[in-house]
A = this chain, B = another copy of it.
Amino acid sequence: MFNDIVKANRSYRRFFEQEVVTRETLLTLVDYARLVPSGANKQALKYYIACEQPLNGEIFATLGWAGYLKEWQGPIAGERPAAYIVIVQDKDYKMVTSFDAGISAQTILLGATEIGLGGCMIGNIQHAKLQAVLNLGENLEIVLVIALGKPKETVVIEEMESNGDIKYWRDEDQVHHVPKRQLKDIVLS
Contact = CB atoms under 8 A, between A and B. Distances in A.
Choose among A6, A11, A97 the residue with the greatest number of B CB atoms under 10 Å from its CB. Answer: A6
Q: Interface residue tally of chain A, by bracket?
A: 35 or more
Contacts of A101: 99, 102
Contacts of A6: 32, 35-36, 107, 111
A30 B102 contact: no
A168 to B, nearest CB: 6
Copies of chain A in the complex: 2
Interface stretch (A14-22, A72-80, A175-183): A175-183
A50 interface: yes
A187 interface: yes
A67 interface: yes
Nearest to A188: B48
Interface of A is mostly: mixed
A100 B86 CA distance: 17
Given A106-B107, A188-B140, A67 B47 contact: no
Given A43-B180, A144-B99, A106 B186 contact: no
Contacts of A130: none
A157 B141 CA distance: 27
A114 interface: yes
Interface in A65-107: 67-68, 88, 96-107
